[in-house]
Structure 1
C-alpha cells in the first residue's frame, strides 16, 4: 500500500509506469481487486509499479484522481494519468493495460537516436 509521498516521488516525478487501485477495508469488491493487484505486482515488480492506496486514509488523493467508486484503478505513464477505471477490473484486463504501456514505452525508447 502506498501513500501520497510515494505516489508523488516515484510515479509523478520519476515518471515510472504504474497501476494504482484505490480501495477500502470495508469494500468487498476491493478485497477481490487487491488479490488481482498482488498477483500483477509480483509478475511485473521489476518494470511496473502495481499498488493499492487506502482511499479513506488518502482521501485527498481519492479526490484528486476522481476515485468516487471503490475500487477505482488509475493507470499512469510518464507521470500522467492514462486511464481511470471505476469498479472491479479483471487481472487479464489490467495486464493488457500494463503490456500496452510497456510496449509503448519500449517503442519510444527504440525510436530514440
Structure 2
C-alpha cells in the first residue's frame, strides 16, 4: 500500500508505471470511481502499480499532489508524472490512457 512514508521509494525511485487515485468516502464521485480503479488494479496487476489513496488518511500525500477535486487520478510513467486528471473518469478512458503509457514505456525501453 502506498502512503506518505513510501511513495517516493515505490514510485519515483523504482521508476514505476503507476496510477494513483485520491478519493474520500464522503465524496459521491469517489465512491463511483473506486470499483473502476479496483477492477483496473486486477487487470493490470504486475504491469502497473494502481492504488487508491484516502485523502483524509494521507493528507500529506494528497496535499503534495494538490488533490482538491475528488477523485483525482495521477498517472506516472517511469516514476514521472504524465497527467493528473480531476473528477470521475470512465473505465474505458483510463484503460486507453494506461495502454498508451505502457506502450510509450515499452518503446522507451526498446530504445535504451
Q: What does residue 62 of structure 1 align with?
A: 62
Q: CA RMSD in A?
A: 1.1
Structure 2: gaps spanning 5 or more residues: none
1:2 to partner: Cα distance: 2.8
Describe how 1:17-28 pairs up with structure 2 within 5 A.
17-28=17-28
TM-score (norm 2): 0.94
TM-score (norm 1): 0.93
Describe how 1:44-59 pairs up with structure 2 within 5 A.
44-59=44-59
Do the aligned residues in 1 keep the contact of 2:17 with 2:78 (CA within 8 Å)?
Answer: yes
Alignment partners' CA distance in 2, 1:80 and 1:105: 11
Alignment partners' CA distance in 1, 2:32 and 2:104: 28
Structure 1: gaps spanning 5 or more residues: none
Provide the secondary structure at the position in 2 that maps to 1:31.
Answer: helix
Query: What is the aligned length?
Result: 112
1:15 to partner: Cα distance: 0.9
